């Protein structure tokens, strides 16, 4: 048994390494490249690119430790059968999930834009979960997979801070998992919402979880 202590706010955590998993959320071309879903929603995708190198460093460290690593991808099958009408019709026709774009159909599984960017591509054997919603537990086997590995603690990385990462932290908290967000390994289309989400997570003594960064995790893994 190996415990690690990670400097974090509102206070440090000491976690069993074998009970800690790394979640890499939705690092897909559709969110990070200027021709995909994120851009179609009116966002500057360049704001997300700063998270790539820190995630690479954390992935390398986690893999070296044999940590349980799970990647997620937001998207829908080609028939959009699991896409709620509310998610489909909230934006004007031509700017919708399933519409054709430069990277294929927007947010559709198997299309080029749906793929995880090469820089943080899953290794063979790592789990990749397709999810139709923002929260990574919704209509995925994530809960069962974590419990099967006796995972209690989640390190949260990926995009975007205030949407899929935030939704996943809130869901993890209700399901009895600890969640710690590595703030340089998550990014938002809005620096203000990034900061506000992290502030909400750590408020009230850590009401939803903790916030730390990649340097603190690497220091904890290699004291
Ligand atoms: N729009 C936005 O910020 N994010 C999403 O729609 N999905 C994820 O965060 N993955």
Beta bridge pairs of residue 157: 24
pTM value surpassing 0.85: yes
Inter-residue contact 83 to 109 (CB < 8 Å): no
CA 163 to ligand 1 center in whole angstroms = 5
For a ligand 1 pocket test, name from 23, 26, 187 the mutation site with the most ligand atoms within 8 angstroms of its C-beta: 26
Residue 130's H or E segment, with its range, is strand 127-131
Residue 181's H or E segment, with its range, is strand 178-187
- CB atoms near residue 112 (< 10 Å): 15
Tell me whether residue 26 is one of the annotated catalytic residues.
yes
Domain annotation for the chain: domains and CATH numbers? 3-19+30-64+120-221 (3.40.50.850)
Tell me whether residue 131 is one of the annotated catalytic residues.
yes
159 lines ligand 1 (CB under 6 A): yes
Inter-residue contact 156 to 25 (CB < 8 Å): yes
Q: What is the pLDDT, as a whole number, of residue 184? A: 99
Residues of the chain with pLDDT under 50: none
Among protein residues, the one with the nearest Cα to ligand 1's atom 5 is 163
Nearest ligand 1 atom, CA 38: 1
Inter-residue contact 103 to 112 (CB < 8 Å): yes
Which two structure tokens, joined as six digits, stand for 201?
A: 């997570």
Inter-residue contact 89 to 98 (CB < 8 Å): no
CA 164 to ligand 1 center in whole angstroms = 6
167 lines ligand 1 (CB under 6 A): no
Nearest ligand 1 atom, CA 25: 10
| Active-site residue, selected from the candidate residues 164, 165, 184, 213 | 164
Q: What is the pLDDT, as a whole number, of residue 131? A: 98
**Residue 192 to residue 142: CA distance in whole angstroms:** 29
Conformation bin of residue 222: beta by default, left when phi > 0, alpha when psi is -120 to 50: beta
Among protein residues, the one with the nearest Cα to ligand 1's atom 8 is 164
Handedness of CA 133, 97, 27, 144 (dihedral sign): positive
Tell me whether residue 164 is one of the annotated catalytic residues.
yes
Q: What is the pLDDT, as a whole number, of residue 177? A: 98
Inter-residue contact 13 to 5 (CB < 8 Å): yes
**Residue 58 to residue 186: CA distance in whole angstroms:** 12
**Residue 74 to residue 54: CA distance in whole angstroms:** 21
| Residue range 146-193, pLDDT digits in tens | 999 999 999 999 999 999 999 999 999 999 999 999 999 999 999 999
41 lines ligand 1 (CB under 6 A): yes
């Amino acid at each position: 048994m190996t415990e690690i202590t990670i400097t974090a706010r509102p206070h440090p955590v000491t976690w069993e390494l074998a009970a800690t998993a790394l979640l890499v959320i939705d690092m897909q071309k559709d969110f990070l490249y200027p021709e995909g879903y994120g851009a179609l929603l009116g966002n500057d995708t360049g704001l997300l690119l700063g998270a790539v190198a820190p995630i690479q460093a954390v992935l390398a460290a986690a893999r070296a430790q044999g940590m349980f690593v799970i990647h997620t991808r937001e998207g829908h099958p080609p028939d959009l059968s699991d896409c709620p009408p509310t998610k489909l019709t909230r934006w004007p026709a031509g700017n919708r999930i399933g519409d054709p774009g430069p990277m294929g159909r927007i947010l559709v599984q198997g299309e080029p834009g749906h793929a995880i960017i090469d820089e943080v591509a899953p290794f063979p054997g790592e789990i990749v979960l397709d999810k139709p919603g923002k929260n990574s537990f919704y209509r995925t086997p994530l809960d069962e997979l974590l419990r099967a590995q006796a995972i209690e603690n989640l390190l949260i990385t990926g995009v975007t801070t205030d949407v899929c990462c935030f939704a996943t932290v809130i869901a993890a908290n209700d399901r009895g998992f600890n969640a710690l967000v590595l703030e340089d390994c998550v990014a938002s289309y809005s620096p203000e919402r990034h900061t506000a989400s992290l502030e909400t997570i750590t408020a009230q003594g850590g009401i939803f979880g903790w916030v730390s960064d990649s340097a603190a995790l690497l220091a904890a893994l290699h004291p």
